[in-house]
Amino acid sequence: MSEDLSGRLVVALDLAGVTDEAGLMDRAARALSLPGWFGRNWDALADSLSDPSVWPAEAEDRGLLVVVQDWEGYARERPQEWETAREVFTHAMSVSPALTVALALGGTS
């Protein structure tokens, strides 16, 4: 199944050097310009990813494509956390069809 992603706001979520959940949450908060009340936990990330009202303003009408870069090192270091992150990404996409999360392959890690 192919999906037309043209027109979506593209946001890079760079995980290079991230070694734990807190680091991932900090990177996500910065990349997605999440509000100060973002709880920096898995539930809060799932809620934020699936709620277009907290996405960057340019994405509200266009949809959002989050490209996760340099994730391989984090996945190796924290496989259980990475599995949780993937579950959060998958759940958020199922709730909000305007969201796509893609894992970039071939990073520097």
Given the structure tokens 């494509």, which residue do they identify?
A: 65
Is 27 within 8 Å of 13 (Cβ atoms)? yes
Give the SS3 label for residue 7.
coil
CA 82 from chain center: how many Å?
12
pTM to 2 decimal places: 0.90
What is the per-residue pLDDT across 26-38, written as a single tens digit (0 to 9) for each? 999 999 999 889 9
Give the chain's radius of gyration (CA, Å): 13
Helix (H) or strand (E) holding 41: none
| Regions in the chain scoring below 70 on pLDDT | 1-4, 107-109
* Helix and strand element counts for the chain (H, E): 4, 3
> Residue 4: its pLDDT value, please?
64
> Residue 109: its pLDDT value, please?
44
> Residue 6: its pLDDT value, please?
76
